């Protein structure tokens, strides 16, 4: 493709060439001018070789020194060169002995103080432990002594009851001359309580279920047959029995150990259930076919 294939390109090329020639003409004819060498400015100074002089004849070379100037020149004495000893500045390495000794002393003091503090802390800890041990031992001795006093008091109460019972019985057992024995153990003796019933079959405490209004709760109905539970285990507490009673007054079902029971040992629950099933209430034709109530049995060792 030609660069000037159109009329507009040819006109543009011609105009560009004319402008370039005009610029070159102006540069070569009217450009910046300078002097070669450039023009100097300032104050000119006379040629000379010294800072002083006299006369009207300008020498072209350095002047020969006069006799007066030679006399004024003094010989330079050679000075003895004394070698100076370079004293190096004192560094950290130049004083290790003193600082090391100070550090050792300081470290010994710190270790001694630390050891002393440890010993003091250990001594205080030993005193604290000994005080706690003494207090614990004192509390244990106090508990043992309190228990011993309770046992002794109980023995005194039992002895007083025995003495009173012997007096009521006319003193037949006062001298301990009775023969025989009763119990379920392999050891000879009369098992039971001195305050118990000679005709009772149980050897521990006495059965509860006493009264018709407090321990038998079945609305406005009253218990007319109230068998006491047999008592053959060394336990005490209250047993709540939930019962279902028909219109005739018979207990048709019983569940021992419901809410309110304080001792749920099996022997107490079983004996309470057996007694509850044997209980009889008054009949009531207007009562529900299955009326729910509660029987409370109180088992006590004393």
Sign of CA dihedral 92, 98, 99, 101: positive
What's the CATH code, domain 216-299? 3.30.2420.10
Reading the block at residue 36, the tokens are 């070669």
Per-residue pLDDT of 247-264, as tens digits, reads 999 999 999 999 999 999
The whole-chain average pLDDT of the chain stands at 75
The phi, psi pair for 294, rounded to 5°, reads -135, 140
Peptide bond into 81 cis (omega under 30): no
How many C-beta neighbours within 10 Å does residue 255 have? 13
Are 298 and 231 within 8 A, CB to CB? no
Per-residue pLDDT of 55-111, as tens digits, reads 766 776 666 665 555 545 555 455 555 455 555 555 544 455 455 555 555 666 788
Sign of CA dihedral 184, 188, 194, 200: positive
Q: pTM (2 decimals)?
A: 0.34
**pLDDT category, 112, cuts 50, 70, 90?**
confident
Helices (DSSP H) in the chain: which residue ranges?
A: 7-30, 67-72, 96-168, 266-277
**pLDDT category, 195, cuts 50, 70, 90?**
very low
pLDDT for 180 equals 61
Sign of CA dihedral 250, 256, 262, 263: positive
The phi, psi pair for 211, rounded to 5°, reads 95, 160
DSSP 4: T
Q: Does residue 297 register a pLDDT over 70?
A: yes
Per-residue pLDDT of 138-158, as tens digits, reads 999 999 999 999 998 888 888
Reading the block at residue 43, the tokens are 């104050």
pLDDT greater at residue 205 or residue 270: 270
List the domain boundaries for the chain. Answer: 115-170, 216-299
pLDDT for 133 equals 92
């Amino acid at each position: 493709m030609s660069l000037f294939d159109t009329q507009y390109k040819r006109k543009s090329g011609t105009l560009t060439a004319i402008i370039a020639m005009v610029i070159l003409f102006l540069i070569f004819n009217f450009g910046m001018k300078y002097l070669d060498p450039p023009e100097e400015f300032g104050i000119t100074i006379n040629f000379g070789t010294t800072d002083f002089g006299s006369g009207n004849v300008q020498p072209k070379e350095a002047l020969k020194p006069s006799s007066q100037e030679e006399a004024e020149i003094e010989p330079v004495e050679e000075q003895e060169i004394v070698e100076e000893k370079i004293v190096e500045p004192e560094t950290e390495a130049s004083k290790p002995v003193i600082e090391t000794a100070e550090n050792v002393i300081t470290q010994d003091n710190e270790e001694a103080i630390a050891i002393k503090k440890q010993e003091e802390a250990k001594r205080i800890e030993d005193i604290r432990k000994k005080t706690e041990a003494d207090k614990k031992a004192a509390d244990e001795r106090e508990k043992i002594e309190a228990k011993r006093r309770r046992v002794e008091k109980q023995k005194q109460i039992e002895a007083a009851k025995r003495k009173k019972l012997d007096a009521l019985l006319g003193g037949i057992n006062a001298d301990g001359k009775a023969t025989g024995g009763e119990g379920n153990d392999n050891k000879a003796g009369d098992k039971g309580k001195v305050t118990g019933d000679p005709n009772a079959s149980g050897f521990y405490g006495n059965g509860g279920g006493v009264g018709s209004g407090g321990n038998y709760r079945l609305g406005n109905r009253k218990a007319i047959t109230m068998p006491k539970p047999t008592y053959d285990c060394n336990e005490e507490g209250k047993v709540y029995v939930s019962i279902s009673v028909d219109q005739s007054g018979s207990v048709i079902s019983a569940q021992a150990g419901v809410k309110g029971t304080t001792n749920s040992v099996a022997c107490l629950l079983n004996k309470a259930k057996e007694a509850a099933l044997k209980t009889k209430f008054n009949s009531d034709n207007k009562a529900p076919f299955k009326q729910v109530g509660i029987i409370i049995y109180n088992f006590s060792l004393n």
